[in-house]
Structure 1
Amino acid sequence: MQILKIDSSTSGPASVSRELTEAAVEHFRAKHPEARVVYRDLAVAPLPHMDEVATGALRAPPEMQTDDMKAAVPAEREVFDEFTSSDIVVIGAPMYNFSVPSQLKAWLDRLAIPGLSFSYSEAGPQGLAGGRRVIVVSAQGGMYEAGDPAEHQESMLKVFFALIGIPDIEIIRADKTGFGPEMREAAIAEAKAEIAKL
């Protein structure tokens, strides 16, 4: 079994999502002591935003790739292969300005590969990267109800993972963390209680 842990917060030790991704991984390691944990810290070692070379390395057929694209294939595919080799994926996704951190978006962009993670048909897109459990640890300084027009974080992640074949991601949310120390600690404690039920 492989567990993939993704952190994207730039808040360092003060990060709520980092505290909760660690709690989630420890929870699953206790249940699966044989599991291998693969860790990617997107704030410490960010992936570059997509460009022509990265896009071609992931999406262009070999005969259409430039030398630069061919050279980039191993590094670009590593992200996708890491994901598809994992049984459980724990993603720290704090809300930054109503969406996810840009470094997390750069990681997601490397998972959406036509022909590998999804395909199109007359019936619409078909996800091809299912078969793994995805837990999103969501941290929000405010409070956003489902359908809030200002919320483009959890809703985007739900749509994205449904596209690639994982329609039922699990979201553990710590919200109102900006409402003061007491509310922050209460939100973390509540989220950890939800993690214990996974």
Structure 2
Amino acid sequence: MAQRILLITSSLFGEGGQSSALAASFKSALEGRDVELIERNVVEQALPHLTGGEMTSWMTEPGERSNEQQALARISDDLLAEVEASDVLVLAVPLYNLGIPSQLKSWFDRILRAGKTFQYTANGPVGLLEGKSGLILAARGGMYAGTEMDSQTPHLKHMLRLIGVQDVHTIYAEGLNMGEDRKQQSLKEAQQAIAQYVATRF
């Protein structure tokens, strides 16, 4: 059975973004392989910031929801269905002001749902979506990986692991704003790492 891959892109610059270039390299490496690829651009989708009303709709029994609550709950339910049906979650992520794009945060806010993708226990939260793997394709203008300034990588890994995705791999393209030579070398190394990842995983 073909593995199902959910590719999430989040660049404000669309196909012109460096993280989108990493996503394109990933798709190119998949050509000819027995996989099913689903793509979601969270910037084009323009998910609004999460509100109390939307969160309340999740906590209301489906049969008791108002029409407005049904519409609000459907936003998260549709995104969750994509995640649940996928074997691999791939996040192509730029670094904006040391964090993730707010649009990507809005996506995470709707898939990190207690009782759906994780549950609280006496020993802390436990993820409910086990057996999936994750890949982070990280594009950065500077050099941050492995430093105290890289709060993005642990944040992404913690959110994925919260829902049960424990096997998470990261491929970086850094120094992209530090001269053309550095940029091209970094992108080349990232492309090679992506090709190797795909060759060993699919």
Relative to the length of structure 1, the TM-score reads 0.90
Q: Is the 8 A contact 2:57 2:73 kept in 1?
A: yes
Equivalent AA in structure 1 for residue 75 of structure 2? A
Identical aligned residues as a percent = 29
Q: What count of residue pairs does the alignment treat as equivalent?
A: 195
Structure richer in helix, relative to its length: 2
Equivalent AA in structure 1 for residue 25 of structure 2? A
Which blocks of at least 5 consecutive residues in structure 1 are unaligned?
A: none
Query: CA 1:88–1:145 in structure 2 vs 1: closer, same or farther (change >3 Å)?
Result: closer
The 5-angstrom pairing of residues 40-189 of structure 1 reads 40-62=40-62, 65-148=65-148, 150-189=149-188
Distance 1:71 1:196 in 2: 40
Q: Is the 8 A contact 1:141 1:178 kept in 2?
A: yes
Structural RMSD (CA): 1.7
Comparing 184-193 with 58-67, greater Cα deviation is found at 58-67
The reply to whether residue 31 of structure 1 matches residue 33 of structure 2 is: yes
Query: How big is each residue's C-alpha offset from its partner over 1:2-50, in whole Å with a ceiling of 9 and x where there is no partner?
Result: 2211110012343111011121133234332xx3321111122221111
Q: Is the 8 A contact 2:76 2:111 kept in 1?
A: no
Distance 1:59 1:188 in 2: 44
Q: Is the 8 A contact 2:8 2:90 kept in 1?
A: yes
Of residues 14, 17, 38 in structure 2, which corresponds to 1:15? 17
Q: Is the 8 A contact 1:59 1:114 kept in 2?
A: no
**Alignment partner of 1:19: what SS?**
helix
Q: Is the 8 A contact 1:54 1:69 kept in 2?
A: yes
**Alignment partner of 1:196: what SS?**
helix
**Alignment partner of 1:38: what SS?**
strand
Comparing 96-105 with 46-55, greater Cα deviation is found at 46-55
**Alignment partner of 2:50: what SS?**
coil
Distance 2:127 2:31 in 1: 28
Q: Is the 8 A contact 1:142 1:179 kept in 2?
A: yes
Relative to the length of structure 2, the TM-score reads 0.89
